[in-house]
Amino acid sequence: MSTYNENIRKVTTLHLREMKQTGEKISMLTAYDYSMAKIIDEAGMDVILVGDSAANVMAGYTTTLPMTIEQMIYHAQSVVRATKRAMVLADMPFGTCSGNPEKSLEYAICIMKETGVDGLKIEGGEEIIADIRKIVDAGIPVMGHLGLMPQSINKYGSYGIRAKGNEEAAKLLKDAQLLEEAGCIGVVLEKIPAQLAKEVTEKISVPTIGIGAGAHTDGQVLVMQDMLGINKDFAPKFLRRYADLHTVITEAVGNYIKDVKENTFPNEKESY
Ligand code: KIV
């Protein structure tokens, strides 16, 4: 059996809604460059997210805050060039959607025009709902992002689980409903209790995509470097590693170094 729906030539917002209705889970993974996006797309991923986690895994920053709009455009252009089937979403970087709807729309249009992505992901709820409405009303698909919002790390002070208490959980549910009303195509729920994610998933009509939010969301998202085991230092409970590329790459590079030092590479067949 195929792991994905081969009848879909290009995943659209309509497909995401249908998947929620039929119970087909939505697969989503991050990518930031052409080569990896091509592999991920050809494997049948439904959604590729050009996350601002690029600031961490591509650039080595400790937070996502330094990511600029120019850097996001560069990564998103590379991913779009590689992708045929998957829907491609780009994150709006920190500071580009923060309570000034006109300005936020300008940034959103800039990313859409420069990159050709299919939509945007935006962190935040009620506080930026006017910005999100403005962007959606301009015809741009928006995926919301609630729970742990890495762009707000300085406000939280930690990357711990969010919405464990009743008050924060109630706000999160209300925010999800506001995002649905504003016309969002879905909502990412990051690092929240599975029971709360289930409740949100049942109460809104648009898909929820979880990361560290249990099994009841309509789909799952992971950061590519984490699930492929490239990034050894990051091992939260929610992460499942599907490969150990750190070891594979280390061994391959070690063998290459050895062959060069011993002058066994290149051999005659590998020479002109
Ligand atoms: O930037 C990112 O990669 C994300 C995912 C973790 C959802 O926001």
Atom of ligand 1 nearest to the CA of 64: 1
Rounded distance between C-alpha atoms, residue 209 and residue 28, angstroms: 8
CA atoms within 13 A on the CB side of 8: 24
204-237 pLDDT, tens per residue? 999 999 999 999 999 999 999 999 999 888 999 9
Residue 37 within any structural domain of the chain: yes
What positions carry a catalytic annotation?
Answer: 190
| pLDDT tens for each residue of 180-189 | 999 999 999 9
One domain for residues 200 and 270: no
Residue 132 within a domain: yes
Mutating to test ligand 1, I would choose from 221, 226, 239 the residue with most ligand atoms within 8 A of its C-beta, which is 221
Taking phi over 0 as left and psi of -120 to 50 as alpha, with beta for the rest, 266 belongs to beta
List the one residue out of 56, 101, 62 whose CA is nearest residue 75. 56
Q: Which atom of ligand 1 is nearest to the CA of 91?
A: 1
Domain interval for residue 69: 13-241
Q: What is the pLDDT of residue 1?
A: 55
Query: Is the domain of 167 the same as that of 210?
Result: yes
Please indicate, yes or no, whether residues 167 and 249 belong to a single structural domain of this protein. no
Kindly state whether residue 58 falls inside one of the protein's structural domains.
yes
Do 250 and 117 fall into the same domain? no
State whether 57 and 184 are in the same domain.
Answer: yes
Joined together, the tokens standing for residue 51 give: 């996350």
Does the beta carbon of 223 sit less than 6 angstroms from any atom of ligand 1?
A: yes
- Specify the pTM: 0.97
Using the atom order of ligand 1, give the atom closest to the CA of residue 123.
8
Q: Are residues 52 and 121 in the same domain?
A: yes
Q: Answer yes or no: is 222 within a domain.
A: yes
Whether 166 and 33 share a structural domain: yes
In a domain, 7, yes or no: no
Mutation test residue for ligand 1: of 65, 148, 190, 208, the one with most atoms within 8 Å of CB:
190
Strands 26-30 and 47-50: parallel
In a domain, 5, yes or no: no
Helix axes 129-137, 101-115, angle to 10 degrees: 50
Whole-number average pLDDT of the chain: 97
Note whether 182 and 58 are same-domain residues: yes
Asked if residue 83 and residue 154 are part of one domain, the reply reads yes
pLDDT of residue 5: 87
The stretch 22-33 carries a mean pLDDT of 98
4 lies in some domain? no
pLDDT higher than threshold 60 for residue 176? yes
Please, which pLDDT band fits residue 2 given cuts at 50, 70 and 90?
Answer: confident
Per the structure, how many domains does the chain have? Answer: 2
Instruction: Judge if 104 and 193 occupy the same domain.
Output: yes
pLDDT digits 0-9 by tens, 137-163: 999 999 999 999 999 999 999 999 999
Q: Is residue 185 domain-shared with residue 253, that is, in the same domain?
A: no
Domain shared by 223 and 249, yes or no: no
